[in-house]
Amino acid sequence: MKRRLYFLLPDIETTQRVVDDLLLARVTENDMYVVAREDAQTRDLPQAGVSQTSDLAGSAERGAAAGGVTGVLAGLAAMAFPPAGIAVGGGMVAATGLGGAGFGAWVSSMIGIRHNNAKVEQYEQAIRDGRVLMMVDVDDGRVDEIQNVVRDNHPDARIEGTDPHKPAFP
């Protein structure tokens, strides 16, 4: 399982050095995400996409759960009160549950993509002030190692914490 680490770095130059150090530590560029001011020169850095900066993943997960429950309840209601004498079985309950989960995930993700990720939102002022937020996804067993790489080589970097797990949608 992977975990997401957060680092707050003072500037773009430091961020580039951290990226280089992490590449040497065998962290792939696909597992690094940088969020900086819009006017910062970050084209050589691994950019955070919409899935890292929005609430897309969390919204989709919540929507799938709510839609799945609603679909199963609708299927059970159709079983208890069959429409127009049609026999409804367990397959229908499963189908409405899956359909509800898919629909709920889709609708919720459309809403979530318009909202900022709550974790990233905490750093908006620091980012506006010119600092850089870096997110790194690593295997559970490498969390301490990667934090030490950053701490030892960049004392001006702040380790901002670790999510208990990497979001399902990168």
Q: Which CATH number fits domain 2-49+117-162: 1.10.1200.10, 3.30.70.120, 3.40.980.10, 3.40.50.2300?
A: 3.30.70.120
Q: Give CATH 3.30.70.120 domain extents, the chain.
A: 2-49+117-162
161 Ramachandran zone, left/alpha/beta (phi>0; psi -120 to 50): left
Task: Output the pTM of the full model.
Answer: 0.66
Mean pLDDT by groups of 10 residues along the chain of 170 residues: 90 91 92 84 72 65 84 83 73 84 79 67 85 90 92 89 64
SS3 content of the chain, % helix, strand, coil (to 5): 55, 15, 30
54 Ramachandran zone, left/alpha/beta (phi>0; psi -120 to 50): beta
Beta strands in the chain (DSSP E): 2-9, 32-35, 132-139, 158-162
- Among 10, 4, 60, smallest CA distance to 33 is for 4
